[in-house]
Amino acid sequence: MMVDTVFPHVVLNPNCSIALVSQLADAIMTQIQNGALPSHKRLPSIRRMASHCKISPITVVNAYARLVSAGLLDVRDRGGYYVKPLPLLATPRPPIDSLWLLQHAYEEHAPIIKAGCGWLAQPYLFTNAVKQGLKALEQSPSLANMLDYGSPYGLIALRSVIRFLLAKRDIPCTEDGIILTHGASQALELVLRAFTQPDDTVLVDDPGYCNLYPLLQSLGLKAVGVVRNESGPCPELFERALKKHPAKLFVTTSVLHNPTGSCVTAHNVATIQAIAAKYGIAIVEDNIFLDLTPESQPCHARHGKLQNIIHISSFSKTIAPGLRVGYLACSPDVGKRILRYKMAAGLTCAGLNEAMVFNIIKNGQYGYHLTDLRERLFQAQKTVCHSFLAIGMKLYIRPMGGLFAWARFHKEVNTHSVSERAAAEDIMLAPGNLFRPERSESQWFRFNVTHANQSRLYTFLERENKGR
């Protein structure tokens, strides 16, 4: 019986510190474990695989040998390599992927230490203001109006406050250029629906926001990564990507980047915008942590004054994630285009939540809360990063604030296996491949400093770093 040969999707980086044999073996292992390479399928011959990946045959031999030893490949038919069926487990664990990060953290038996999650820990939430806001809404004479359908743009009072907050950052806009959304995630989806069609290409940060990639896939869009360094997206690679992949949008994060914690420089912003203007591509700036930075912080909306730039932000990361109040700011004409998709998808947002956020900002509590939150996050960064270095972890940078630290072990590890072992000990990690557009190999992990300062987490990481 003839068996079809299946080529695994492999992207190797010869400039990476990880050996090519490890990159190849890990890529094939991941695709076997997630079902992308079905059981009993035949892999390419050693020479065909070497030619396909532009590497030496001995590298393929060694990679295949590792997978045979791991029980993932079987050798038969004069040296043919076949995918072995994975053993059935009585209680299979969910795959470590972006959906796992969202869903597993909320399950009844969620990990006790959510070191890889993307939201503030409870002690950092603005709980008292929310409680006061609920009481104020209960006594408000306009409560009945809040329960009715409001403007599709969102509560006008909150949009006016947002316009004022953005003006303090030298980002000019009008109320009809601001649309309130059900969190920043809905804002991203609305922009993508308004500006793209299936099979279009969207440029994204690499690494970048992990939940953006399944959204792009669900809309039939192709994600092409632009490698990011400490100062922002690499301009040379950005222009190279545009020459090779004509794209409609570039979705990027400028401040307190998820997952690395870095902030762009003013020079990087100016250079990226000049290239974007040259190729006629719009920039979607997903800046949900903007309020956690100084008002002078460089970003695309500040530099470009919302010309061919759509700015997205949220109060879910600074007040409470359950409020689900986000917004986008753009030119009024672009706003009208996006508004049609919001109305088609869900008419308006939750007026009660918008009114609560407005009251928190209006009465002056928000400014004091931000000052306190920035300082607490700065101290949390210092504590967690110092502890990571003490147990032998490497840091990408030392962030000056925000939620995230990007760290790795000194030695090369199988990040998926480490994450599985952590999950078995009720620790949720976020391996770096989840933050790459093609789930490419990465030795990094994202840590949330508001959840990570736990002795049991440090003990686990130190044990993994030294070798089991």
Which residue, 333, 368, 322, 356, is CA-closest to 157?
A: 356
DSSP annotation of 320: -
Q: At what angle do helices 235-244 and 266-279 cross, to 10 degrees?
A: 20
Give 330's contacts (C-beta < 8 A, 6+ positions apart). Answer: 173, 177, 306, 309, 310, 311, 338
The pLDDT profile of the chain, 468 residues, written as one tens digit per residue, is 455 788 888 888 887 767 788 788 888 888 887 778 888 888 888 888 888 888 988 888 888 887 887 778 888 766 688 888 876 544 444 555 545 554 455 444 455 789 999 888 889 988 888 888 777 776 766 665 666 666 789 999 999 999 999 999 999 999 999 999 988 999 999 999 999 999 999 999 999 999 899 999 989 999 999 999 999 999 999 999 999 999 999 999 999 999 999 999 999 999 999 999 999 999 999 999 999 999 999 999 999 999 999 999 999 889 988 888 999 999 999 999 999 988 887 667 777 788 889 989 988 889 999 999 999 999 999 999 999 999 999 999 999 899 999 999 999 999 989 998 998 888 999 999 999 998 888 999 999 999 999 999 999 999 998 875
Q: What is the pLDDT of residue 192?
A: 96
Consecutive H or E run containing 127: helix 127-139
Lateral strand order in the sheet of 430-431: 394-395, 404-408, 444-448, 430-431
CATH number of 98-118+368-466: 3.90.1150.10
Task: Report the topology of domain 20-83.
Answer: Arc Repressor Mutant, subunit A (1.10.10)
| Contact by Cβ (8 Å): 292, 377 | yes
DSSP 42: B
**Whole-number pLDDT of residue 127:** 84
Q: Given this model, what pLDDT does residue 78 score?
A: 65
Question: How far is 225 from 241, CA to CA, in rounded Å?
Answer: 8
Domain ranges of the chain: 20-83, 98-118+368-466, 127-363
Radius of gyration of the chain (CA): 24
Number of DSSP helices (H) and strands (E) in the chain, helices first:
18, 14
Q: What are the residues whose beta carbons fall under 8 Å from the beta carbon of 15, sequence distance 6 or more?
A: none
Longest CA–CA separation in the chain, Å:
82
Reply yes or no on domain 127-363 having CATH 3.40.630.30: no
pTM: 0.75
| Cα dihedral across residues 29, 207, 430, 406: positive or negative | positive
Does 98-118+368-466 match 20-83 at the fold level? no
Res 143: pLDDT: 61
